[in-house]
Amino acid sequence: MRVSVPTIITAHGAPKQSISPAAAVDRIADFLAPGKVTLLTGAGVSVASGIRAYRGKDGRYMNPNYQPILYHELTDESTKGFAFRQRYWYEIKSCSQSIRLMLYRLRSYLGYPPVRDALPNTSHYAIAALQFASYIPRLVTQNVDGLHHKAIGHLWEPDHIQQQILELHGTLHRVHCKRGHVVPRDMFQDWLSASNPQWKAFVDNLEKTGQKPRTNPDGDVELEGVSYADFVVPECPQCTLEGQQNSFHKPEVIFFGESIPSRIKDRSFYDVEKSERLFVLGTTLATYSAFRLVKRALELRKPVMLLNVGPTRADGLPGVEKLEISSSLVLRDVVRALLGSRASHDSVIVHLLQSGIHQPPAEDHEIISRNT
């Protein structure tokens, strides 16, 4: 089976057009003012929380050696598949395909804590304010970091959050075995730590010294020159109680090559169809699962606004208005423009607009792939 990693396909090659923050605030506020908007977000929204996007401002992958685990590799029942599943929690770059897959488990084990500990940034909280004020009743996110949930979680009950926020590509915060037993990722992380005390000590040292390995949006990291052979993947305790041996575990994340469950796909289309317009934020739309939502909105003649820094798959498409500007520069002012005096008198809105970090990854750690 051959599955390719999605790339940006810009059919019309529209030139980049800059816009001032003030002009962008006016345009976005006008677009959102009628309400009934579905918001589609991508990795760019979480960059200010310290989680790197896959691509830089030029649209190229920032990691030239980026080699994601493919779904058919992860679920292979053979010894080769076991090796790939071990890699899901760890990976070295320069190795054979079978060894690459074997490493991913440890790689994810090391990469999960930075995602787990990440805090919502100012954009997440501005979006939460727009949700709370009912301008954005539906949010579809490609991100698996759970930061939208963290931003609104103190205002809405979990059931209501599930109704209003759709995680298109799943979540890093739950893990299931192949027989369907689901556990919180924090619990599974504890199992991995108990089975691998030497790696637990390594993680503790990273946190103590403030070292942060390069973390991708899906929670894996960059490591070189380390051995994975001693990494142990624990058995599922529930399967053991039922008399089965099972060390196959998978996060509830949609892998490259894996089909999105029909209920999630149908819900994503429903969210677009029930809205009056689509606002797209911080994504190149390289994955078709996201791009097809833009296509569906255009088919239904719904207005589409795209806010992203760098090229996207929808650049130049008729019916798509693109603003080339970072959400962190404008979204809080958009809330103020929309809500007027409420933005300074409603204690909930005031708190949301005063919340959020702005700690993007250091530029000198970004490796941009260039053709030479």
Q: DSSP letter string over 192-242?
A: HHHH-HHHHHHHHHHHHHT----B-TTS-B---S---TT--PPPPHHHHHT
pLDDT of amino acid 87: 56
Task: Answer yes or no: is 117 within a domain.
Answer: yes
Number of folded domains in the chain?
A: 1
Parts of the chain with a pLDDT under 50: 1-5, 9-13, 59, 61, 63-64, 66, 89-103, 364-372
The residue whose two tokens read 């369907």 is 180
**Which distant-in-sequence residues (6+ apart) come within 8 Å of 12 by Cβ?**
315, 316, 317
Structure tokens that stand for 181 in this block: 């037993």
Q: Identity (one letter) of the amino acid at 45?
A: V
Q: What is the pTM of this model?
A: 0.84
Residue 61 near residue 54, CB atoms below 8 Å: yes
pLDDT value at residue 230: 76
* Side-chain half-sphere CA neighbours of 196 within 13 A: 25
Residue 101 lies in a domain: yes
CATH code of residue 231: 3.40.50.1220
Active-site amino acid positions: 169
Per-residue pLDDT tens digits for 290-333: 999 999 999 999 999 999 999 999 999 999 999 999 999 999 99
Of 277, 329, 339, residue with least CA distance to 24: 329
Question: What's residue 290's pLDDT?
Answer: 97
| 293 is a domain residue | yes
First to last CA, the chain: 30
Q: Residue 235, Cα to own-chain centre: how many angstroms?
A: 28
- Boundaries of domain holding 113: 21-361
Report whether 140 contacts 38 (CB < 8 A): yes
Residue 370 included in any domain = no
Q: What is the structure's pLDDT at 42?
A: 97
Q: What is the pLDDT of residue 368?
A: 37
> CA torsion, points 284, 336, 29, 352, in degrees to nearest 10?
40
Does a structural domain hold residue 16?
A: no
* Residue 100 pLDDT: 42
Residue 249 falls within a domain, yes or no?
yes
User: What was the pLDDT predicted at 215?
Assistant: 67
Does residue 5 lie in a domain region? no
> Is there a domain that residue 192 lies in?
yes
